[in-house]
A and B are shown apart, each in its own frame.
Chain A
Amino acid sequence: METPNPPLIDCDVHAVLPVFEALLPYLPAYWREQVEQTAFKGPVDPWYPPGLPTAARASTLPADGSPAASRVGLVQAGVLDAAPHPSFAILNSDCAVESLHNPDAAATVAQALNDWIASEWLAKDGRLRASIVVASQFPELAVREIERRADDPRFVQVLLPVRSEAPYGSRNFRPVFAAAASHGLPVALHYGGSPGNPPTPVGWPSFHVEDYAGVTGVFQTQLISIIAGGVFDEHPALRLVLAEGGFAWLASMLWRFDKNWKGLRREIPWVKRPPSDYVREHVRVTTAPSDAPEDPAQFASAVAQLGSDEILLYASDYPHDHGDTFAAGGWDTVPAGVRRKMMSDNPRSLYRL
Chain B
Amino acid sequence: MPKHLVSSVAEIPPGSRKIVEVAGRSIGVFNVGGEFFALRNRCPHQGAALCTGQLGSAVTSKGPGHYEVDRSGEILRCPWHGWEFDIRSGQSWFDPEKVRVKSYETAIAPGSSLAPPAPGLVPGPYIAETFPVSVEESYVLVEV
Instruction: Name the interface residues of B48-65: CB closer than 8 Å to any CB of A.
Output: 56, 59-65
Instruction: Name the interface residues of A227-278: CB closer than 8 Å to any CB of B.
Output: 229-230, 233-234, 259, 261-266, 269-270, 272, 274
- Kindly state the separation between the CA atoms of A272 and B96 in the bound complex, as whole angstroms: 12
Q: Which of B76-84, B111-119, B130-138 contacts A (4 or more CB under 8 A)?
A: B76-84
- Kindly state the separation between the CA atoms of A272 and B67 in the bound complex, as whole angstroms: 13
Q: Does A101 contact B (CB under 8 A)?
A: no
Contact of A270 among B63, B81, B82, B92 (CB under 8 A): B63
B65:A263 contact, CB within 8 angstroms: no
A270:B83 contact, CB within 8 angstroms: no
Instruction: Name the interface residues of A72-87: CB closer than 8 Å to any CB of B.
Output: none
Known A-B contacts A269-B67, A270-B66; the reply to A261 vs B60 at CB < 8 A is no
Name the residue on A nearest B84 (C-beta). Answer: A266
Chain A CB within 10 Å, residue with most, of B56, B59, B94: B94
Residues of B with C-beta under 8 A to A264 = 82
Contact of B63 among A233, A259, A265, A266 (CB under 8 A): A233
Q: How large is the interface on B (under 10, 10 to 19, 20 to 34, 35 or more residues)?
A: 10 to 19
Chain B contact surface mostly: loop
A261:B94 contact, CB within 8 angstroms: yes
Q: Does B126 contact A (CB under 8 A)?
A: no
- Kindly state the separation between the CA atoms of A261 and B94 in the bound complex, as whole angstroms: 9
**B97 vs chain A, min Cβ distance (A):** 13
A233:B94 contact, CB within 8 angstroms: no
**B68 vs chain A, min Cβ distance (A):** 8
- Kindly state the separation between the CA atoms of A36 and B94 in the bound complex, as whole angstroms: 60
Q: Does A208 contact B (CB under 8 A)?
A: no
Residues of B with C-beta under 8 A to A272 = 61
B59:A269 contact, CB within 8 angstroms: yes
- Kindly state the separation between the CA atoms of A199 and B140 in the bound complex, as whole angstroms: 60
**B58 vs chain A, min Cβ distance (A):** 10
Instruction: Name the interface residues of A169-207: CB closer than 8 Å to any CB of B.
Output: 171, 174
Per-position binary interface string of chain A over residues 207-233, scored 1 when its CB falls under 8 Å from any chain B CB and 0 otherwise: 000000000000000000000011001
Known A-B contacts A262-B81, A263-B78; the reply to A230 vs B94 at CB < 8 A is no
Contact of B83 among A229, A230, A263 (CB under 8 A): A263
A274:B94 contact, CB within 8 angstroms: yes
- Kindly state the separation between the CA atoms of A270 and B78 in the bound complex, as whole angstroms: 21
Residues of B with C-beta under 8 A to A233 = 63-64
- Kindly state the separation between the CA atoms of A115 and B56 in the bound complex, as whole angstroms: 55
Name the residue on A nearest B45 (C-beta). Answer: A262
- Kindly state the separation between the CA atoms of A269 and B56 in the bound complex, as whole angstroms: 14
**B99 vs chain A, min Cβ distance (A):** 9
Residues of A with C-beta under 8 A to B84 = 265-266
Residues of A with C-beta under 8 A to B65 = 171
Footprint of A on B, CB under 8 Å? 56, 59-68, 78, 81-84, 92-94
Instruction: Name 28 interchain pairs, CB-CB below 8 A, sorted by A.
Output: A171-B64, A171-B65, A229-B64, A230-B63, A230-B64, A233-B63, A233-B64, A234-B64, A259-B81, A262-B82, A262-B83, A262-B92, A262-B94, A263-B81, A263-B82, A264-B82, A265-B84, A265-B94, A266-B59, A266-B82, A266-B84, A269-B59, A269-B67, A269-B68, A270-B62, A270-B63, A270-B66, A272-B61
Footprint of B on A, CB under 8 Å? 171, 174, 229-230, 233-234, 259, 261-266, 269-270, 272, 274
Given contacts A261-B94, A262-B92, A270-B62, 16 further A-B contacts (CB under 8 A): A171-B65, A234-B64, A262-B81, A263-B81, A263-B82, A265-B93, A265-B94, A266-B84, A269-B59, A269-B61, A269-B67, A270-B61, A270-B63, A270-B64, A270-B66, A272-B61
